[in-house]
Copies of this chain bind each other. A is one copy, B any other.
Amino acid sequence: MLKDISHKYRNFIPLHLEIEDIKILEEFAKIQRGNILKMTTNASSGHPGGSMSSVDIYTILFAFSDFTPENFNSLNRDRIVISHGHTSPGVYSVLGSLGFFDLHEAIAHFRQVGSPFEGHIENHIPGIDWSTGNLGQGLSAACGFALSQKMKGINKDVFVVMGDGEQQKGQISEARRFAKKFGLNNITCIVDYNNLQISGATQRVMYQDIKANFESDGWFVIEIDGHNFSQIYEAIRFAKNYSVSPVMILARTTMGKGVSFMENRHEYHGKPLTEEELDRALKELGIENDLKKYRKMRDKKIKKIKEVKSLLPPIFEIGSPILYSPETKTDNRSASGKALFDIASKNMDKLDSFAVFDCDLAGSVKTSSIEKNMKNSFFESGIMEHHTAVCSGALSRCGVITFWADFGVFGVDETYNQQRLNDINNTNLKVIVTHTGSDVGEDGKTHQCIDYLGLLRNLYGFKVIVPADPNQTDRVIRYVVNEWGNFCVAMGRSKCSVITNENGSPFFDEKYEFNYGKFDILREGKEVLILTYGPMVEKAIKIYEILKERGIDVGVVNVSCPLKIEDELMEKIKKAKLIITYEDHNPHSGLYASICDKIVEKGISKKVIPFGITNYPPSGKSSDILKYLKIDPESIAEKILKELNG
């Protein structure tokens, strides 16, 4: 039995596998092949070909790593990332056989609605560290896990198994460079090189020299036969102990390995066997065909599996707020950077649980003080945003409070899908984006991020906060530190005034407490109600002042969480005569959209005029752009007057 020898080879300590143990492995893997075929035929769906090609690697990895049904909820263990998540039948089969969950449940309920055993592997299942499916993501996640081990002094390993087709994804080259730069020699990558992808032979689909690619990024490469247990074992053992660089094991394998009529047939990438084919295949493998049993089980209730727990970071001291006086003229990104540095300074004993990522913009996003003073918590990731999004997301699941600061177009637009995958992975990432809206200096269209609410609105777990001034920014940064979940804190580039009460005292004063979703009434007024957020708040107050002089009763509300509109705000809206939304964003996916949604939900009939960005703006200073687009305070005050006068 494999369980009997698992202990013997745990942590890849012996030099070689013994011959009789190889037989046990071969027998075990054969059974897994049978399971894979039953599972996919039972589901009439799934990916048997790649599963059979990877399953010998999975057998060795899961059987001998320090990653067990007992320790999967701990940090102090090896980690295994399966990047080609469609090989779920192979993964589930091996994990089930090793006792992470009930194997029969997986075979019976694979890909069934309501079952935990979904189409691609997901990290709610014991033994699965990262949900994958979209290709090219696994090595970036592995880097995040490997970083957490290095930061926390955990002397364990991260193994990542990848497909060959996915090596075409550019993100993998980013991850390679990152791993090399940060000396992540605790990563061992195994590429299942069966040379087939959906469209046929890998080298016919795309020119690629995988070995040369890895070597060009400073990795050490070993080539092995991926179905030879001795070679797999010894290569992993070598890689684990090799400290000069991360190691990639190029494992030559056969798609559909083990069943003659499936071998090297790319059609079996994503197609299960028919019942008749299954019967033939199982006969060839010498395995009993008990598909009927699983067909019956499929109609029965699905059992619960053990819970995979989120590894919470330690609670950080958030310190006392920095108060910016009304005389101060600074930008929110500076306030954000200061708050972040202040928090880090107050938790110097916990910096092994604190990380800040940068993509070559530390000076602009104001994380330079972290870079200078908390070197081991600062990760300069270069111009590699896709990798950085996933890597920081994975790290955030390892008990590390993780921030990534970048421009809006990089932290949200360029990496939307990576943030979506983070969200699916229940990460705990804090994304600080600066240079949002048209407020990006004079960099122009490609840098203007006028859609971040429209994008993050789609992600069910992401919360977005757009603070109004340096004081609120300070409080928001302190707030998100200890709050679990994905947050995006957005800000523009320009300096903004400290928002004050009518008496001139700071609105967000020492008594102010931020709560997600809470709106702030900055100016009371009932005739016209301006709803706004972020850098437009001070401009809305300007409109208020202009109109006040003209005798108009204007209220100004700071909606710093534009994706969460509270019922109480709707009560205010009901009472006003005219509602204005004012944003440095596309209104049709921004605050205006949120308000419309809620107005319809509440059955209110109300005139709302949206002011915002309605096409790709020109390049220029923020204030000039607003004037050019006629959404500067003066123009808007004028328009409101016209509207009121009919």
Binding site for B on A (CB under 8 A): 43, 45-46, 85-86, 111-115, 118-120, 122, 131-136, 165-166, 168-174, 177-178, 180-181, 197-199, 205-209, 212-213, 215-218, 358, 360-364, 380-384, 386-387, 409-410, 413-417, 420-421, 423-424, 441-447, 450-451, 454-455, 457-458, 460, 586, 588-589, 592-593, 595-597, 599-600, 603-608, 614-616, 618-621, 624-625, 627-628
- Is B387 a contact partner of A454 (Cβ separation < 8 A)? no
A423 to B586, CA, bound (A): 15
What B residues does A112 contact at CB under 8 A? Answer: 620, 624
What B residues does A445 contact at CB under 8 A? Answer: 118, 120, 122, 131, 133, 424
A505 to B119, CA, bound (A): 38
What B residues does A358 contact at CB under 8 A? Answer: 199
Q: List 18 A-B contacts (CB under 8 A).
A: A113-B628, A118-B442, A118-B619, A133-B443, A168-B384, A178-B206, A199-B361, A205-B380, A212-B216, A416-B417, A421-B446, A424-B616, A454-B589, A460-B615, A593-B597, A599-B599, A600-B600, A600-B608
**Among A360, A413, A589, A595: residue with most chain B CB under 10 A:** A360
A621 to B620, CA, bound (A): 50
- Is A134 a contact partner of B209 (Cβ separation < 8 A)? no
- Chain B residue with Cβ nearest A458: B451
Return A420 CB to nearest CB of chain B, in Å. 6
- Is A444 a contact partner of B177 (Cβ separation < 8 A)? no
Partner of A455, one of B113, B363, B458: B458
Partner of A134, one of B387, B409, B441: B409
A361 to B115, CA, bound (A): 27
- Chain B residue with Cβ nearest A385: B169
- Is B442 a contact partner of A619 (Cβ separation < 8 A)? no
- Is B180 a contact partner of A174 (Cβ separation < 8 A)? no
What B residues does A364 contact at CB under 8 A? Answer: 198
A275 to B454, CA, bound (A): 42
Lowest 3 A-B CB distances belong to which pairs?
A170-B170, A133-B446, A113-B620
- Is A119 a contact partner of B615 (Cβ separation < 8 A)? no
Return A496 CB to nearest CB of chain B, in Å. 19
What B residues does A170 contact at CB under 8 A? Answer: 169-174, 384, 386-387
A169 to B174, CA, bound (A): 7
A588 to B207, CA, bound (A): 42
What B residues does A217 contact at CB under 8 A? Answer: 207-209, 212-213
What is the total number of copies of this protein in its complex? Answer: 2
Return A576 CB to nearest CB of chain B, in Å. 14
- Is B209 a contact partner of A166 (Cβ separation < 8 A)? no
What B residues does A627 contact at CB under 8 A? Answer: 113
- Is A624 a contact partner of B118 (Cβ separation < 8 A)? no
What B residues does A380 contact at CB under 8 A? Answer: 199, 205-206
Partner of A173, one of B113, B132, B213, B604: B213
- Is B442 a contact partner of A45 (Cβ separation < 8 A)? yes
**Known contacts A170-B174, A170-B387, A593-B593: A455-B599 contact under CB 8 Å:** no
Return A587 CB to nearest CB of chain B, in Å. 9
A-B contacts besides A45-B441, A165-B382, A173-B173, 19 pairs, CB < 8 Å: A111-B442, A113-B621, A113-B625, A119-B443, A119-B444, A120-B445, A120-B447, A168-B382, A198-B361, A199-B380, A206-B380, A209-B218, A213-B217, A386-B386, A455-B458, A457-B588, A458-B586, A596-B596, A603-B606
- Is B442 a contact partner of A119 (Cβ separation < 8 A)? yes
- Is B131 a contact partner of A446 (Cβ separation < 8 A)? yes
- Chain B residue with Cβ nearest A624: B113
- Is A206 a contact partner of B384 (Cβ separation < 8 A)? yes
- Chain B residue with Cβ nearest A445: B424
- Chain B residue with Cβ nearest A605: B605
Return A135 CB to nearest CB of chain B, in Å. 6
Return A104 CB to nearest CB of chain B, in Å. 19
- Is A111 a contact partner of B619 (Cβ separation < 8 A)? yes
Partner of A383, one of B131, B168, B173: B168
